[in-house]
Amino acid sequence: MRFYKKRLKAFTLLECLVALLAMSLSMLVMQGMTVLISQEFEVIRHSDEKNWQNFTNLLRRELESAEFDKVSDNFLYVTTPKGGLRFGVRAGADDFRKTNAQGQGYQPMIYGVSVAEISNEGNLVTIHLKFSKGGERTFIYAFSNVK
């Protein structure tokens, strides 16, 4: 019998181990990145940044067409073409709200507020909010129209 020796191309054990090592390292990197991305999404989901941005945009839009009246008892009073408005936190409530000048009606603008301090210097109004979850934010608005 005649045996033909053919050179078969195959992987050596060393090549297999290197490939296995490269695959396992890439899987570890992918797993670490997945954990990091999921943690970032969790932080973003529980962040109040979006609520604050919505609140400031809404409040700016409301105050653009208004004339400044006064700040009294931690409430901001303004006059619009449709009538007087009052902004602030009512005692016992956890939301910053917009009502008519007499405090009737109810339109919450942001929730989770524990303390709201509203002050003014001339036409510059400062609203400092403290949240029940922790954290503080300050909104500053300069009125161009003053009564």
Residue-range domain boundaries for the chain: 12-41, 49-142
Q: Model confidence over 15-56: pLDDT tens digits?
A: 889 999 999 999 999 999 999 999 988 877 776 788 888 889
User: What is the tens place of the pLDDT at every residue in 50-86?
Assistant: 888 888 999 999 899 899 999 988 899 999 988 899 9
pLDDT confidence bin for 139, thresholds 50/70/90: very high
Q: Please, which residues bridge with residue 98 across strands? A: 87, 107
Cβ contact 136:116 at 8 Å:
no
pLDDT at 1 over 60: no
Is 73 in a helix, a strand, or coil? coil
Question: What pTM was computed for the model?
Answer: 0.66
Cβ proximity of 108 and 95 under 8 Å: yes
Q: What is the pLDDT of residue 101?
A: 85
